[in-house]
Amino acid sequence: MRRNCKVITTCFIGRTVRKNTTIGGDPPGPFNHAQNFPTPEAVLELVALIYDLECKVDPGVESDTIIVNNDVGWEKGNRFLESLHNSKTYSGQLKVVNRENFGRSFGGYNSAYEIFKSQYEYWTFTEDDILVIGDGYFRTCIELFESEAKIGFVAIQGISKEFKLHAHGGVGMTHIRVLDAVYKTLGKLPHRERHQSQAYDDIIVDGEIAFTNSISKLGLDLAEVQSKIPLYAYAYDYMRGIGYLLPDTEQAGHSPTQPPQPWCARQ
């Protein structure tokens, strides 16, 4: 039986506050997402929510959850993550990895790959403030991936043409053979190294964009997931009960101002 994993990156550092999700990107969509996690305590609340959802959401396949902590030495958060290590989730086990804080989420993706590359076949990647919680999301992504030989990455949040072709946020699913090919070509999954600038723009260019653009450069396609229900939600919007229209929502008979609820069938 094949094994699957979902990698979620986090860091106990307060983030810039954005109260509302707005339209942006090329093509445009609700990609400038709201966030309100200005303190380590707020991030801890977010991680607790993630754990709760990992215990309730059915991904549609057996899957372990790997939380990668870009460790900044905040002991309260680290102790909480330690208490979750090896705990049971809906369809597998939760594992915690602590690493030095460089490269942000994409450095975390690289660390998870290097540690667990021999253990898992299909991989879903997301950041802590983008909740991949649509019922059966993993099964849906695998079915699309396996439908065409040229697909190298299934984008859950959409595909962007800004700067270079890439999956928004690097959020989505791929296969270990694709990750192996990227790693063989670049010597890593793309991210900023510890000795390089950690400025936000550099992280975006050499992390978020480069991560899935490197898959495209292998001659593989980035495919946008097809689903009649949303497969993800922005964490701060989710916490406030706010949603937005996603592709296929209107076609499925839902009002553009009232997205299908609940986001997760077992919430």
Can you read off the two tokens belonging to residue 94?
């939760």
| pLDDT tens digits for range 188-218 | 999 888 888 878 777 788 778 999 999 999 9
105: domain range?
4-240
In a domain, 261, yes or no: no
CATH number at residue 89: 3.90.550.10
DSSP output for 212-232: HHHHHTTTPEEEE---SS-SE
> How many domains are there within the chain?
1
Query: What is the maximal distance between C-alpha atoms in the chain?
Result: 51
In a domain, 155, yes or no: yes
In a domain, 83, yes or no: yes
Location of structure tokens 């804080």: 101
In a domain, 172, yes or no: yes
In a domain, 168, yes or no: yes
In a domain, 76, yes or no: yes
Instruction: Enter the pTM of the model.
Output: 0.87
Which residues lie closer than 8 Å to 114 by C-beta, 6 or more apart?
none
Q: Give the residue from 129, 133, 47, 40 showing the smallest Cα distance to 87.
A: 47
Instruction: Give the whole-angstrom CA distance, residue 249 versus residue 144.
Output: 19
Can you read off the two tokens belonging to residue 103?
């490269």
Q: Give the residue from 42, 34, 41 showing the smallest Cα distance to 17.
A: 34
DSSP state of 206: I
In a domain, 264, yes or no: no
Determine the pLDDT at residue 249. Answer: 36
Query: Would you say the C-alpha torsion 243, 244, 250, 251 has a positive or negative sign?
Result: negative
Angle in degrees, CA 213, 139, 57, rounded to 5: 105
Determine the pLDDT at residue 2. Answer: 64
10 Å CB burial of residue 184 (0-12, 13-18, 19+) is exposed
DSSP state of 253: T
| pLDDT per residue of the chain (267 residues) written in tens, 0 to 9 | 469 999 999 999 999 899 888 787 777 777 788 889 999 999 999 999 999 999 999 999 999 999 999 999 999 999 999 999 999 999 999 999 999 998 888 999 999 999 999 999 999 999 999 999 999 999 999 999 999 999 999 999 999 988 899 999 899 999 999 999 999 999 999 988 888 887 877 778 877 899 999 999 999 999 999 898 889 999 999 998 886 433 333 333 332 233 333 333 322
- Amino acid sitting at position 95: K
In a domain, 149, yes or no: yes
